[in-house]
Amino acid sequence: MGSQRNFEPRKIRSPFVNASALNGLSRCVHCGLCVPHCPTFQVLRTETDAPRGRIHLMGALVEGRVGPSPVLREHLDLCLLCRHCEEVCPSGVPFSPAMEEVRRFLIRRGGVWAKLRVEAMRALLHPLAGISLWALGNIGALGYPLLPLMGRLLPSLAFLAAYLPHPQGAPSRKGSLLARPTGRPKGRAAILVGCVMPYLFPQTHRATVSLLALAGYEVVAPLGQTCCGALFAHMGSTDTAKHLARRNIDAFLKEKPDVIVVNAAGCGAMLKEYPRLLQEDEEYLGKARQVAALTRDVTELLAQSLPPPQGTLRAIATYQDPCHLAHVQKVRQPPRQLLRMIPQLQLIEMESPDTCCGGAGLYPIFHPAVARAIARHRLEAVLATGAQMVVTANPGCTLALSAATKLWAPNLKVMHVVDVVWQAWRKGAKHRHV
């Protein structure tokens, strides 16, 4: 790979490729510093499944030196868009806009499978799909004890089965007012409900609302909001992502919030990147910038404003940085600060806590064997700390790590940081919320 030539944007053959999204690839100097951080390289050990190799493949594809063969599609498709490569790259190669654009191009170039996946993702946005997932999660929980045995017989299938969580309580709701703080509110916080969180992690939404009220915020969940669009953007379905972004921008700005709060790292990163998504939309670019400026991860807001809980949690915990919180939003300390606030909770750092755990949207459905290998790799780092609990801040990471623990470490708990803090609060303090 050291002798590969640089990608040249002027050689892009297809009129369907937006060259500006790919220009930055020419900055790659093939140093390879990104390679060891790539989760797919860590488990597959092939250059074509590492960022430097993928940059080479993307360049060759759009210049027309190679065609969109199934093998090339597979190497590009295996990228989780975790963006670790972007963060460590000394040349500032903007990897993700290029990958999203190339995936958009591949859908146009007859990717039937890619189109089907976009349709599957669209179907997931329907409330009936959410309710079905919620019901499946509740029924599937009965079979957890069988998963380790199934994992020995049918490893990939068992990993997929282990993926579905056991939702705690009824699906969470949208509505104009969810909580009012005691006393004069510090501000009005509008929360992003998201597409799967209300069904798979309703308890995390309820904990988020309760903690925001304790931190002094009036909490609203604007009606009219929808999926943030991140998974569509990552798949290359850019038009759908833009459509969803415009709907969210209208819904959130109508509520005139002081802050927009997100408890899913991938969705928060998307809202903060709406200006990039809508950079060519004259009508919405200004509004996209307003939304981005107002958006905070829930841990950023709580670390600044939540009083310490009085309740204790006697446990050893380790924290897994969600990729889109650490590498994109650069939020690393607030979740740790929140965990350190909890009396008797001991936080131990694992090796490379910001390495991807494989929980990237529908990735485990389309690449169960690789997702399983990545999750297992991460679990080994967690187990090496001796922790009894692994805490994260994103539903995708919670799903991936939980699937791994159900198969290989059933006594290890996986929790969202908000659920951990709320547990400590519930144990130790009186509160009031609507």
Instruction: List residues near ligand SF4 by CB under 6 A.
Output: 28-34, 37-40, 51-52, 54-55, 79-85, 89, 91, 93, 95
CB of 84 to ligand SF4, least distance (A): 4
**What CA–CA distance (Å, rounded) separates 371 from 367?**
6
CB of 356 to ligand SF4, least distance (A): 6
Q: Which residues contact 138 (CB under 8 A, 6 or more apart)?
A: 166, 167
Backbone angles phi, psi at 64, to 5 degrees: 80, 15
Nearer to ligand SF4, 51 or 368 (CB): 51
**What CA–CA distance (Å, rounded) separates 4 from 26?**
12
Order of strands, sheet of 175-179, starting from the edge strand that comes earlier in the sequence: 175-179, 217-221, 187-191, 259-262, 295-297
Nearer to ligand SF4, 28 or 317 (CB): 28
**What CA–CA distance (Å, rounded) separates 133 from 213?**
29
Nearer to ligand SF4, 91 or 304 (CB): 91
CB of 266 to ligand SF4, least distance (A): 13
CB of 18 to ligand SF4, least distance (A): 19
Q: Are 393 and 297 in contact (CB under 8 A)?
A: yes
- Taking alpha carbons only, the member of 246, 346, 332 closest to residue 297 is 332
Question: From residue 432, how far is each of 182, 195, 214, 404 by CA, in Å?
Answer: 7, 28, 8, 37
Nearer to ligand SF4, 32 or 140 (CB): 32
Nearer to ligand SF4, 63 or 300 (CB): 63
CB of 25 to ligand SF4, least distance (A): 8
**What CA–CA distance (Å, rounded) separates 58 from 343?**
50
CB of 393 to ligand SF4, least distance (A): 18
SS3 category, 391:
strand
CB of 122 to ligand SF4, least distance (A): 24
Structural tokens at position 350: 């694992």
Q: Are 189 and 213 in contact (CB under 8 A)?
A: no
Nearer to ligand SF4, 290 or 352 (CB): 352
- Residue identified by tokens 């053959």 is 13
CA-based R_g, the chain, Å:
21
Nearer to ligand SF4, 4 or 226 (CB): 4
Nearer to ligand SF4, 40 or 210 (CB): 40
CB of 26 to ligand SF4, least distance (A): 10
- Kindly report the number of other CB atoms within 10 A of residue 67's CB atom: 9
